[in-house]
């Protein structure tokens, strides 16, 4: 299974924000959309960074509640690891485990944002894949 298959079932909508949005704006968006991360984009839709709920918590813990008035650009992670639609589930799991993050923006050949995959999506599809294998094995054993 690859990223394109996951995007087909979950859709391509990605929550985005501008780098000059405040941490408060971003927190409200995360809460309203019930998601864990937002991709920060520039004028031409170019990916400039990523902000997850962990970044918000860390900023408040280190700098106090005042951090909620800071712009996202002060806090966001700038070196964003992305993947293409052809990437496999295994490749995604490896990158997420290595980088210790739970969100992976998907880009096309022009580096334009075309979707996002969360660890929840990966686990869900991985379980479905394993269940299909088990059922195929059972069928094979029953007929063998
Ligand atoms: P997460 O596990 O996704 O909540 O993110 C944990 C940390 O990794 C936060 O500091 C995020 O800004 C950062 N992060 C999340 N996704 C990515 C990514 N695809 N590439 C680089 N950093 C990321």
Residue by residue, pLDDT tens for the chain (144 residues) are 899 999 999 999 999 999 999 999 999 999 999 999 999 999 888 999 999 999 999 999 999 999 999 999 999 999 999 999 999 999 999 999 999 999 999 999 999 999 999 999 999 988 988 888 888 888 888 886
Taking CA atoms only, the protein residue closest to ligand 1 atom 3 is 102
Q: Is the pTM of this model over 0.95?
A: no
Closest ligand 1 atom to Cα of 81: 20
Residues whose beta carbon lies within 6 Å of some atom of ligand 1: 36-37, 50-55, 77, 80-81, 99, 101-104
Taking only Cα atoms into account, the Rg of the chain, rounded to an integer number of angstroms, comes to 18
Å from CA of 118 to ligand 1 middle: 10
**Where do the DSSP E strands lie in 24-108?**
37-41, 47-52, 103-107
- Count how many domains the chain has: 1
For residue 51, what is the domain's CATH number?
3.10.580.10
Nearest Cα to Cα of residue 24 among 61, 65, 58, 76: 65
Q: Give nearest CA residue, ligand 1 atom 22.
A: 80
Which residues contact residue 118 at a Cβ distance below 8 angstroms, ignoring those fewer than 6 apart?
35, 36, 37, 102, 103, 104
| Containing structural domain, residue 62 | 3-143
For residue 73, give the 3-state DSSP assignment.
helix
103, with CB counted inside 10 A (0-12, 13-18, 19+), is buried
The pLDDT value recorded for residue 130 is: 86
**Which residue out of 3, 14, 56, 77 has the highest number of ligand 1 atoms within 8 Å of its CB and is therefore the one to mutate?**
77
């Amino acid at each position: 299974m690859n990223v394109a298959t996951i995007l087909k079932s979950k859709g391509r909508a990605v929550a985005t924000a501008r780098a000059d949005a405040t941490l408060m704006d971003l927190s409200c968006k995360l809460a309203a959309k019930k998601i864990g991360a937002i991709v920060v984009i520039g004028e031409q839709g170019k990916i400039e960074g990523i902000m997850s709920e962990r970044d918000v918590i860390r900023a408040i813990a280190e700098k106090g509640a005042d951090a909620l008035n800071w712009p996202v650009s002060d806090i966001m992670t700038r070196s964003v690891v992305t993947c293409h639609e052809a990437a496999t589930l295994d490749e995604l799991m490896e990158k997420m485990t290595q980088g210790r993050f739970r969100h992976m923006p998907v880009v096309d050949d022009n580096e334009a944002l075309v979707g996002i995959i969360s660890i929840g999506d990966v686990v869900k599809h991985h379980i479905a894949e394993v269940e299909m294998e088990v059922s195929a094995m059972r069928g094979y054993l029953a007929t063998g």
